Structure 1
Amino acid sequence: MKAAILKTFGSSLVVETLPDPILGTGEVVVDVVVDGVLPYANEVFSGKRKYLLSLPMASAAGAIGRVRSVGPDATRLVVGDWVFCDPTVRSRDDALTPDITLQGLSARGVVCACRSISHHGSFAEQMLVPTENAISIGSIDPEEAGRWCALNLLLVPYGGLLAANLQAGETILISGATGNFGSAGVAVALAMGAGCVVAPGRNEKMLEDLARRFGHRLRTVKLSGDEGEDRERMKQAAPGPMDCVLDILPPSAGTTPVRAAAMTVREFGRSSKTTVLNDQISV
């Protein structure tokens, strides 16, 4: 199979031929149809992010594809099924605190054993993935396959919104709304039936774009950096008490915007913090 290989950090990807994946029990081989490119991929490939990549490898995490072959323990998936390849690979011998790797991208702590099994990512014609990571998405229009790649992005804030127990009709503030995951959180919250989403941020262009896309159920707030002033602006933007807050700011944002957002929630409201650090997600 053809694959785009990263041989050394800082070098360009090279298209080469790799051996086809060898199917085993508990695994599925998927023909990759389409994959997204991370906005910070250059930082990963250059080595700036210091990810635990075992080079050379075909990198990139997650893909939309079609099942090529299944192991003997698969009972639902069949050849030809459209699937979302979940890049989060967990070891199977500790359900409470499994070792985790993002296939083709990074690992938490030491490089775990599942890295050697799920080494190559989706910058290849085929992927070998754990059976539980090949998630059927039903019959789709092949022309729409690229749009399904958004699942990787949308599922991150969705986990935080589930933790916040967002209910239809409620008002939620999404701290970090102008970022990659934050703007996805706006879309997911509205899709879940939020009555109003308050979207604070410093990026005016992005705030304008969010307002254009999502209409009257979205209230944008331009942040000044002053904690007290920003807190009042966010509260005033809401049509009523703030039922919950989803904080999806990166750790580099500091504590000031985090505290300002958290203090807007009503009494007995809820707050959820979703952190993406080195591509490992905690809620």
Structure 2
Amino acid sequence: MKAVLCKAFGPADNLTLAEVASPQIRPNEILLEVHAAGVNFPDTLMIEGKYQFKPPFPFSPGGEAAGVVAAVGKKIGHLKVGDRVMGLTGWGSFAEQVAVPGHNVLPIPPGMDFETAAAFSMTYGTSMHALKQRANLQPGETLLVLGASGGVGLAAVEIGKAMGARVIAAASSEEKLDVAKNAGADELIDYSQGGLKERLKELTGGQGVDVIYDPVGGQLFEEAFRSIAWNGRMLVVGFAAGGEIPALPANLPLLKGAALVGVFWGAFAQRQPQDNAANFRQLFAWHAEGRLKPLVSQRFALEDTARAIDTLGRRKAVGKLVVKVR
């Protein structure tokens, strides 16, 4: 089979396309014939050795995929050959086949194509867990989404609206804000122009925002927290801005009566599988109702995977990027 390989840590340009043996599945795994694979920020870190997991060389990046079950391990009872599924792989999805643990696989709901399914799990799973379990977002509360045009950001905008929040989308250009507006954002802030704190004060009548969703990090981290409401919750989702991980003076949460809340959806899905399954039942229901509309903005052939990862790493993407394997 064909697979995109990382043979040494470095930039995306170092990735190569090669013929390799098909994976041998374990009793608790399925063999997935990959039709499409989502591109995510961890892919950019993993190939440079900056992620918390470092697979042995050579490895294929790619943390999520959608396709058809080609084989099932003897301990798998809920899936069969021919099922259309989406799966979280950790790595290995930028290949024609990948072995996936059965507990990381979900049937693709009727009416969802492979490309949408490949763009769904990580972004919507992360944002749903963040807003439901971690923030306990309530109807009528105000939600600020930083990096609102990216994959997880757009998912947070849509989920926040579905949960009844007033959503303020913040991004670095008018073009990106147009994408967030189309996803349902109520208010828009171009933070490349500065004045984030003042604009938030204006939009909230001086009260601040109840929940801040931050997948970006960087220099806006503290400024955003200084705009939080009493009893507010700031969600630490990721650090797409790169550079140093931001720090926060410890007196700020005290003075605001606010919480700084970490979001690690992968660990949540493993530790609380029933809650994660309930989240996806709700997400699939909202998708069927037309309330969630995943945006796949660019599609790449398998041989162009390096360009896809580089595009995301340079923050040149809106919505999700997908590699079409078949």
* TM-score normalized with structure 2 length: 0.62
* C-alpha deviation, 1:53, in angstroms: 4.2
What is the alpha-carbon distance in structure 1 between the residues aligned to residue 83 and residue 173 of structure 2? 41
Task: For residue 173 of structure 1, report the CA deviation from its aligned partner.
Answer: 1.7
Mapped partners of 1:164, 1:50: distance in 2:
25
Does residue 1:282 correspond to 2:296, yes or no?
no
- 1:145 corresponding residue in structure 2: 114
Partners of 2:128 and 2:7 in 1: CA distance: 35
Aligned to 2:4: 4
| Unmatched 5+ stretches in structure 2 | 241-261, 266-326
Greater helix proportion: 2
Are 2:160 and 1:189 aligned?
A: yes
Match of 1:129 in 2: 100
**Match for 2:188 among 210, 217, 220?**
220
Q: Which residue of 2 aligns with 1:159?
A: 129
Corresponding position of 1:115: none
Amino acid of the structure 1 residue aligned with 2:78: R
Alpha carbons 1:175, 1:199 under 8 Å: kept: yes
Cα shift at 1:12: 3.6
Residue of 16, 22, 25 corresponding to 2:24 = 22
Instruction: Render the CA deviation track for 1:232-253: whole Å, top value 9, x for unaligned.
Output: 123149xxx7773132243323
Residue 256 of structure 1 pairs with residue 228 of structure 2: no
Q: Distance in 1 between matches of 2:59 and 2:165?
A: 45
Change (3 A) 1:196 1:70: same
Give the equivalent residue in structure 1 for 2:176: 206
Tell me how many residue pairs correspond in the alignment: 238
Query: Paired residue for 1:98?
Result: none
Displacement after TM superposition at 1:254 (Å)? 4.9
What SS does the corresponding residue of 2:238 show, helix, strand or coil?
strand
Deviation readout 1:56-105 (Å, 9 max, x if unpaired)? 11111110111111112222111111111123xxxxxxxxxxxxxxx22x
Match of 1:247 among 204, 213, 222: 213
Question: Aligned in 2, Cα 1:80/1:6: closer, same or farther, shift over 3 Å?
Answer: same
Pick aligned residue for 1:271 from 233, 238, 260:
233
Bigger radius of gyration: 1
Instruction: Give the C-alpha shift of residue 259 in structure 1.
Output: 1.6
Distance in structure 1 (CA, Å) of the matches to 2:87 and 2:232: 32
Asked if the contact 1:178/1:203 (under 8 Å) is kept, the reply is no
Three-state SS of the structure 2 residue aligned to 1:173 is: strand
* 8 A contact 2:197–2:223 mirrored in 1: no
1:154 and 1:261, CA in 2 relative to 1: closer, same or farther beyond 3 A? Answer: farther
Give, as a single letter, the amino acid of the residue that structure 2 aligns with 1:160: A
**Percent of pairs identical after alignment?**
21
* Contact 1:82/1:140, CA 8 A, preserved across alignment: no
Alignment check: 8 A CA contact 1:2 1:125 kept = yes
Q: CA deviation at 1:197?
A: 1.1
Aligned equivalents of 1:184, 1:198: Cα separation in 2 = 13
Gap runs ≥5 in structure 1? 88-102, 105-120
**Which letter maps to 1:245?**
V
Report the alpha carbon displacement of residue 35 of structure 1 after superposing the two structures with TM.
0.8
Compared CA separation, residues 261 and 184, structure 1 to 2 (3 A): farther
* Root-mean-square deviation over aligned CA pairs: 3.2
Distance change >3 Å, CA 230–CA 199, structure 1 → 2: same
Question: One-letter code of the match for 2:97?
Answer: Q
Three-state SS of the structure 2 residue aligned to 1:24 is: coil
* CA distance in structure 2 between the partners assigned to 1:271 and 1:258 by the alignment: 11
**Other-structure match for 1:99:** none
Which of 144, 165, 183 is residue 174 of structure 1 equivalent to? 144
Cα distance, 1:3 vs structure 2: 1.2
Q: Secondary structure, in 3 states, of the residue corresponding to 1:182?
A: helix
Equivalent residues of 2:189, 2:196 under 8 A apart: no
Displacement of 1:194 after TM fit? 1.8
Structure scoring higher RCO (CA < 8 A, sep ≥ 6) equals 2
For the structure 1 residues 281 and 165, does the alpha-carbon distance in structure 2 shift closer, same or farther, using more than 3 Å as the test?
closer
Aligned equivalent of 1:97: none
Question: In 2 relative to 1, CA 282–195 (structure 1 residues): closer, same or farther, beyond 3 Å?
Answer: closer
